[in-house]
Amino acid sequence: MKARAEFSSIPLILVSSKSSESDRFWGHQMGADGYITKPFTREELIRAIRRFA
């Protein structure tokens, strides 16, 4: 998604059940700006969204 000009400025937050450091690393390598692991709280999601707002 980040490769397309119309999406390049939109923050991308991955939500995954995978929580290892390598999973987070590859998520960021693939263009994610943030990474949240499940289960997560409402507050964690809001904090991640506000970080990129």
Cα(52)–Cα(9) distance, integer angstroms: 10
Spacing of C-alpha 23 from chain mean position: 11
Q: Is the pTM of this model over 0.85?
A: no
Q: Is residue 47 in a domain?
A: yes
| Domain around 17 | 13-51
Q: Is residue 8 in a domain?
A: no
Q: Where does the pLDDT of residue 8 fall: very low under 50, low under 70, confident under 90, or very high at 90 and above?
A: confident
Q: Is residue 39 in a domain?
A: yes
Contact (CB, 8 A) for 13 and 49: yes
What does DSSP assign to residue 18?
-
Among 15, 17, 53, 6, CA closest to 34: 15
At residue 53, does pLDDT exceed 90?
no
pLDDT digits (tens, 9 = 90+) for 19-48: 999 999 999 998 899 999 999 999 999 999
Cα(22)–Cα(41) distance, integer angstroms: 23
Give the chain's domain count. Answer: 1
Q: Is residue 2 in a domain?
A: no
